[in-house]
Chain A
Amino acid sequence: MAYSDKVIDHYENPRNVGSMNKDDAHVGTGLVGAPACGDVMKLQIKVSPEGIIEDAKFKTFGCGSAIASSSLVTEWVKGKTLDEAAAIKNTEIAEELALPPVKIHCSVLAEDAIKAAVADYKKKTGAG
């Protein structure tokens, strides 16, 4: 199976790798796993008082597609509102990265991770 150039680029130069303080009131954390591969993905967002995502970080232990999917999502969500970020679809991620059908679940993981991060932030601030 050949990875697309975009997957390889995100895999070799992942954007926004790292961690934020999950106890910070402005940080939402999403932690999800894909049993199919035993992958685990953490995606965090830092939200401004206006409800805009200022920064995003991820840490993923998984295959190249899972790392590329989370890397891409952290790029996409910056500058978006919470609702815009939560509306990202796995099909958009899969299409952008040209993921093969067997790797679609990696994009599902990234979609669920950003949704979980948004939900965590809303829960924290009582807005959800």
Chain B
Amino acid sequence: MSVAAASLAVHPCWSCKGPVATRALFCSVCGAVQGPGATDHFSRLGMVPTFEIDRDVLDRQYFGFQRRLHPDRFAAKSPKERMLSQSQATALNEAYETLKDPLKRAAYLLKMLDHAVDLGACGTISDPELLMEQMEKREEIAEAETVAEIATLSAAADAEVLACQCHISAAFNAEDVDEAARLTLRLKYLTKLADDARAKKIRLSRG
């Protein structure tokens, strides 16, 4: 992947003009904070671009970077540095929000591989197998009347989400991008189903 090259890219520091890595937060020569360079979410957080990621590592990277960009550290700095540190923090936020969510992470990886599945698009799909299955499962949830029933359905839905994530990981590892895209769409529906089941479980438990 061309991603390795992206993480090695350098540009001149705005302050001292010395070379600085595109994904660096600070210039290693003069120490000035850098604006968010044009790089992908994985490189920005110092992660390898894979679907399967270690959530602890991701959190450690993110919170470690954010600590160094805390506004208190820039209170005495120039307006330019305050502004850059804020844009850098915003870019890190966006990267973190995308990578911590398996569905967004899968969609983002597909986009990096030039195989966009537009989960926010207006388009409709007519995959009869997926839709029929989802229609039946949503009906089961709608018809569940007891906490025990909905708990079983909710657990099954959660298990399906995890299973689908495993399949997505396998598809990415096998470099089967079409399959990864198909499964990512499926994950969108399964996530919705699991959310639905969980919401109803909470509602029935309170009632």
Binding site for B on A (CB under 8 A): 31-38, 40, 42, 59, 61, 104-105, 108-109, 112, 116
Complex contact A33–B125 (CB within 8 A): yes
Closest to A116 in B: B126
Contact with A along B115-135 (1 / 0, CB 8 A): 001111111111110111011
Within B163-181, the residues touching A (CB, 8 Å) are none
Q: Is B138 an interface residue (CB 8 A)?
A: yes
Q: How far is the CA of A109 from the CA of B124 in the complex (A)?
A: 6
Complex contact B123–A40 (CB within 8 A): no
Complex contact B135–A59 (CB within 8 A): yes
**Interface size for chain B: under 10, 10 to 19, 20 to 34, or 35 or more residues?**
20 to 34
A-side binding surface: helix, strand, loop or mixed?
mixed
Q: Is B188 an interface residue (CB 8 A)?
A: yes
Complex contact B124–A61 (CB within 8 A): no
Q: Is B185 an interface residue (CB 8 A)?
A: yes
Give the residue of A31, A38, A104, A112 whose beta carbon is less than 8 angstroms from that of B132.
A31
Within B152-194, the residues touching A (CB, 8 Å) are 185, 188-189, 191-193
Given contacts A40-B134, A40-B135, A40-B138, are A32 and B125 in contact (CB under 8 A)?
yes
Q: Please list 19 pairs of residues, one from A and one from B, whose beta carbons are closer than 8 Å in the complex, sorted by A's number.
A: A31-B128, A31-B131, A32-B124, A33-B125, A34-B122, A35-B123, A35-B125, A36-B120, A36-B121, A38-B193, A40-B189, A59-B139, A61-B134, A61-B138, A105-B122, A105-B124, A108-B123, A108-B124, A112-B126
